[in-house]
C-alpha cells in the first residue's frame, strides 16, 4: 500500500519561493509519474506539473515559467518549487501519482498525499 | 487545453435516493475520464476511471458512463458518507491534465 507524505513551509510572503517535498513509501517509484496539484480555498483542482524517476518532466503551461519539479530517486522523493508567489498561489498543495501511459491509454491519479496548506500573505 | 464542465454546481438529494452528476469535455477525451470524491479536509479519492470502471474498494452504488464529451456519475441509494464534492478529470490530452470545477452533493 503506497503512502505519500508531504511537507513544506506553510506561510510565505509575496515574491518568495514555495518549496514542498513528497516522500513515497511502499510500491514502485519507477512505474509512475509523480505530480503536484493544487486547490485554492473553496475552489477546484489545478494540475501543476509532474516528473518520473528518470527526470522526465511535464508542466502546466499556465505555470511553467515559475515551476520547477525535481526528483531524488535515492530517497523516493520529489519536490516542487514555485517562484515569485502571490496571494493567488494560496492553496492546498497535493502530491499524487499516476501510472505511466501505455501505448493505448493514460491513467488517472490513484494515490494522493495529505495536502499542505500554503498561504501567501504580507 | 481541454475544459471540463460539471453540472450542476450543487445537487440536493435525500439519503437513499439517486444522484446523477454530469461532466462535459470541450473536445473528445475518448473514455479517458475519471471521477474523484473529496470530503472536507481530505485529499480527493479516485472513484471511477476509464469512464466506467470502479477503482479498488469503491462500492457498486457508484457507476460511471459516457464517452467522447459527455459523461455521467450515478450514485444509487445515497449513504451519509457519500455527501461530498465530486470532480471529473480528463487524462486523454496533456499537458495539462484538467479537472472540472466540481459538483457538491448535499443532503436535502
- The string of pLDDT tens digits covering residues A1-23 is 899 999 999 999 999 999 999 99
Residue of B44, B49, B84, B98 to mutate for A, most A C-beta atoms under 10 A: B44
Q: If you count residue pairs, one on A and one on B, with CB atoms under 8 Å apart, how many are there?
A: 59
CB atoms within 10 A of CB B38: 19
pLDDT for B94:
85
CB B82 within 8 A of CB B65: no
Q: Does B2 touch chain A (CB under 8 A)?
A: no
Q: What is the mean pLDDT of residues B82-94?
A: 96
Q: What is the mean pLDDT of residues A39-45?
A: 97
pLDDT for B51:
97
Residues 6+ apart with CB under 8 A from B54: B47, B48, B60, B62, B63, B64
Chain A residues touching residue B50 (CB < 8 angstroms): 105
Q: What is the mean pLDDT of residues B95-99?
A: 94
Chain B residues touching residue A67 (CB < 8 angstroms): none
Measured distance CA(B30)–CA(B10) in Å, rounded: 26
pLDDT tens-digit readout, A77-112? 999 999 999 999 999 999 999 999 888 889 999 999
Q: What is the mean pLDDT of residues B30-51?
A: 97
Q: What percent of chain A has pLDDT over 70?
A: 100
Chain A residues touching residue B100 (CB < 8 angstroms): 44
Amino acid at each position: 500500500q503506497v503512502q505519500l507524505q508531504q511537507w513544506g513551509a506553510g506561510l510565505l510572503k509575496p515574491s518568495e519561493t514555495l518549496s514542498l517535498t513528497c516522500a513515497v513509501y511502499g510500491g514502485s517509484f519507477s512505474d509512475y509519474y509523480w505530480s503536484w496539484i493544487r486547490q485554492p480555498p473553496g475552489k477546484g483542482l489545478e494540475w501543476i506539473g509532474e516528473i518520473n524517476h528518470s527526470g522526465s518532466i511535464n508542466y502546466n503551461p499556465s505555470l511553467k515559467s515559475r515551476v520547477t519539479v525535481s526528483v531524488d530517486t535515492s530517497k523516493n522523493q520529489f519536490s516542487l518549487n514555485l517562484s515569485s508567489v502571490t496571494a493567488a498561489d494560496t492553496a492546498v498543495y497535493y502530491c499524487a501519482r499516476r501510472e505511466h501511459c501505455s501505448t493505448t491509454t493514460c491513467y488517472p491519479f490513484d494515490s494522493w498525499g495529505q495536502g499542505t496548506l500554503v498561504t501567501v500573505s504580507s | 487545453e481541454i475544459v471540463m464542465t460539471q453540472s450542476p454546481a450543487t445537487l440536493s438529494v435525500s439519503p437513499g435516493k439517486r444522484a446523477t452528476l454530469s461532466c462535459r469535455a470541450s473536445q473528445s477525451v475518448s473514455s479517458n475520464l475519471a471521477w474523484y470524491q473529496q470530503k472536507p479536509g481530505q485529499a480527493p479519492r479516485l472513484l471511477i476511471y476509464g469512464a466506467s470502471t470502479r477503482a479498488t474498494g469503491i462500492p457498486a452504488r457508484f457507476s460511471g458512463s459516457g464517452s467522447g464529451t459527455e459523461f455521467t456519475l450515478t450514485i444509487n441509494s445515497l449513504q451519509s458518507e457519500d455527501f461530498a464534492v465530486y470532480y471529473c478529470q480528463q487524462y486523454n490530452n496533456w499537458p495539462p491534465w484538467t479537472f472540472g470545477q466540481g459538483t457538491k452533493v448535499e443532503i436535502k
